[in-house]
């Protein structure tokens, strides 16, 4: 195998996958498998190299002679590792870190406790902001996939305060793929959805919380601890009564009504339709049984935290 001639310089907040896909185009490789061989030294069957990348150590070794990328920096700045790590316990963070760095056969999505069950079609495709796209074509001569735009549940570009659009690139298709952002897969639909001002405000607040989560290491002590904090706060607000033997009393409908009034149906449907579709069952599940679920729907918890504590920063400061 011949050594790689060049590896693209990553743009600000570029998803590593996007850089790999730009490499694929420049290499002239006919198959994604050949690109895998070039970049990692082997071709993996692992489906997801999009928001989390496995075997960064292998990649950095393969491109060491043509770039000075470091494993830790790629992981922290060009993948969604810090986003997923934010709701994991210290031991889970270590496991996810080693699945990201080393060559492992298990599913990195399982290690990250990624929620793939969302009913939202809006989480299926790689996203882009039409204004970022235009600016970057002018500035760099090509568009790229932003990492922050791919955070599950983030629907607004926090820089331009407009809705992100779906590209035609599926995040979870079977087998590895490398599709760089382009005019062909990022079609700007002129008939953009209009948001009510209140919905825009909510969606922007949630997007800001999600971005904050990527940039900040919080002292998170596990999902059981989060559940206990929810219950303590609900008891303080009088929405839940603690009974003997660790049982609780609450009015499911009233609780959901108050949550739905706090946001609005449009905002909830944009972010996580399960809240509305299940008429509160999903809210109750996240509040009282999130610790029993192997997956963590981060944005659902961000919505709950904002509802109960004000914002993620208030939540972090209040313990």
Under the binding rule (CB under 5 A), the answer on residue 132 touching Zn ion is yes
115 vs 136, beta carbon nearer Zn ion = 136
Burial class for 105, CB neighbours closer than 10 Å (0-12, 13-18, 19+) = exposed
Pairing of strands 125-128, 165-170: antiparallel
In the DSSP assignment, the letter for residue 89 is -
24 vs 147, beta carbon nearer Zn ion = 147
User: What is the greatest pairwise CA distance in the chain?
Assistant: 70
Under the binding rule (CB under 5 A), the answer on residue 169 touching Zn ion is no
Structure tokens at 28: 């002239």
Residue selected from 96, 157, 271, 312 as contacting Zn ion according to rule CB under 5 A: 157
Under the binding rule (CB under 5 A), the answer on residue 156 touching Zn ion is no
Tell me the HSE value of 219 on the side-chain side, using a 13 A CA sphere.
5
Under the binding rule (CB under 5 A), the answer on residue 206 touching Zn ion is no
Residue 284 CB partners (closer than 8 Å, separation 6+) = 252, 255, 256
Residue 249 has phi, psi (to 5 degrees) of -125, 130
207 vs 283, beta carbon nearer Zn ion = 207
Instruction: Return the range that interacts with Zn ion (CB under 5 A); candidates 62-70, 122-130, 278-286, 294-302.
Output: 122-130
Instruction: Return the range that interacts with Zn ion (CB under 5 A); candidates 10-18, 68-76, 153-161, 231-239.
Output: 153-161
Under the binding rule (CB under 5 A), the answer on residue 131 touching Zn ion is yes
Shortest separation between residue 146's beta carbon and Zn ion, angstroms: 8
First to last CA, the chain: 55
Q: Which helix (H) or strand (E) holds 116?
A: none
Instruction: Return the range that interacts with Zn ion (CB under 5 A); candidates 47-55, 152-160, 249-257, 282-290.
Output: 152-160
Under the binding rule (CB under 5 A), the answer on residue 204 touching Zn ion is no
* Site for Zn ion, rule CB under 5 A: 129, 131-132, 157, 159-160
């Amino acid at each position: 195998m011949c050594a790689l001639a060049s590896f693209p310089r990553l743009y600000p907040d570029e998803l590593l996958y996007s850089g790999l896909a730009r490499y694929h185009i420049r290499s002239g490789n006919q198959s994604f498998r050949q690109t895998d061989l070039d970049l990692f030294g082997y071709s993996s069957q692992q489906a997801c190299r999009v928001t989390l990348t496995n075997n960064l150590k292998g990649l950095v070794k393969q491109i060491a002679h043509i770039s000075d990328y470091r494993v830790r920096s790629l992981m922290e700045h060009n993948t969604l590792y810090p986003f997923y790590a934010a709701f994991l316990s210290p031991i889970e963070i270590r496991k996810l870190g080693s699945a990201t760095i080393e060559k492992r056969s298990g599913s990195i999505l399982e290690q990250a406790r990624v929620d793939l069950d969302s009913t939202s079609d809006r989480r299926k495709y790689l996203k882009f902001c039409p204004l970022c796209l235009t600016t970057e074509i002018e500035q760099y001569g090509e568009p790229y996939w932003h990492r922050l735009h791919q955070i599950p549940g983030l629907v607004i570009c926090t820089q331009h305060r407009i809705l992100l659009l779906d590209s035609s690139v599926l995040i979870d298709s079977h087998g590895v793929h490398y599709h760089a952002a382009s005019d062909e897969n990022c079609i700007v639909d002129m008939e953009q959805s209009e948001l009510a001002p209140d919905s825009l405000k909510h969606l922007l607040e949630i997007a800001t919380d999600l971005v904050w989560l990527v940039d900040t290491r919080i002292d998170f002590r596990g999902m059981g601890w989060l559940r206990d904090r929810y219950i303590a706060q609900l008891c303080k607000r009088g929405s839940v009564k603690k009974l003997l033997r660790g049982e609780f009393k609450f009015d499911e409908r009233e609780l959901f009504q108050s949550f739905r009034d706090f946001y609005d149906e449009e905002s909830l449907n944009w972010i996580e339709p399960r809240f509305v579709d299940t008429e509160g069952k999903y809210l109750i599940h996240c509040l009282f049984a999130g610790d029993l679920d192997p997956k963590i729907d981060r944005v659902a918890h961000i919505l709950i935290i904002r509802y109960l504590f004000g914002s993620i920063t208030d939540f972090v400061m209040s313990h």
